Amino acid sequence: MLIYGHRGARGEAPENTLASFDKALQAGVTRVELDLHLSADQQLVIIHDPTLQRTTGIKGKVARHTAEQLTRLDARLGLAGWEQPCPIPTLEQLFQQFPQFEHYQLEVKSGSRAQARPVLEAIMQLVERYQLQDKVVITAASRHLLRYARDSHCPLPTGLVEEYGMLDPVKSALRYQCRFLALNWKLCTPTRVAQAQRNGLHVSAWTVNEPELMLKLRDMGVDSLITDVPHLAVTILQD
């Protein structure tokens, strides 16, 4: 089973910061899931929320700040007690500083109808610049973004992020020609996992932090799990 560090190593360092991605690498995890928003100047920055309050303590929306302004902000509130400042990084900084990563799940949070084109174009430009075409999947819960990716023949693979499962997630993923299905672990059943895999989908379960659940999902045949605690996941799954 493959292991993806959730927002780097969210349980071990401030989420979506370079320190967090470094923690994942220290655990031997070379695959990560992370969140992307567009800045005011159309740069890709790594942060989960559309607002800054939770991780920086500053009020305001990510989209109203330039990338330069955002990278000057300290996002260490993502983990209480962290001593060193942790700036909000850009996606390009991550690609530059950690070429060791083998694969990225790039979850787009800027997925509105108006943002779909610019965010996909920004990702494709960076992926081409760093020659990472075989190392990324663009994931989103936004049907607007996945529809645009499909209809514009985006050359990069996509994945549906599904939390609630009100509609059949496998059918939805196939409708948008996805290659990944990132499921809330509560939606994982042996039948659903097998159905997805029969249709060529990679099934990735999130967010998985308990040892018993890690083993249960592995035995269910899930392809990969996304975890806040990469060190623990490596220990449990290697044993």
Give the contacts of 174 (CB within 8 A, at least 6 positions apart): 199, 201
Q: Assign domain 2-238 to its CATH architecture.
A: Alpha-Beta Barrel (3.20)
Distances (CA, A) of 175 to 181, 187, 193: 12, 19, 17
Q: Provide the pLDDT for residue 112.
A: 87
Query: Residue type at 230?
Result: P
Q: Provide the pLDDT for residue 205.
A: 98
Q: Provide the pLDDT for residue 78.
A: 83
pLDDT averaged over consecutive 10-residue blocks of the chain (239 residues)? 98 98 98 98 98 97 98 94 96 98 96 92 98 98 97 98 95 98 98 98 98 98 98 93
Q: Provide the pLDDT for residue 67.
A: 98
224 burial level (CB within 10 Å; 0-12, 13-18, 19+)? buried
Q: Provide the pLDDT for residue 41.
A: 97
Residue 102 near residue 111 (C-beta atoms within 8 A): no
Three-state secondary structure of the chain: CEEEEECCCCCCCCCCCHHHHHHHHHCCCCEEEEEEEECCCCCEEECCCCECHHHHCCCCEHHHCCHHHHCCCECHHHCCCCCCCCECCEHHHHHHHCCCCCEEEEEECCCCHHHHHHHHHHHHHHHHHCCCCCCEEEEECCHHHHHHHHHCCCCCCEEEEECCCCCCHHHHHHHCCCCEEEEEHHHCCHHHHHHHHHCCCEEEEECCCCHHHHHHHHHHCCCEEEECCHHHHHHHHHC
Query: Residue type at 61?
Result: K
Q: Provide the pLDDT for residue 102.
A: 98
Q: Provide the pLDDT for residue 103.
A: 98
d(CA 83, CA 175) in angstroms, rounded, equals 46
Residue 78 near residue 104 (C-beta atoms within 8 A): no
Q: Provide the pLDDT for residue 199.
A: 98
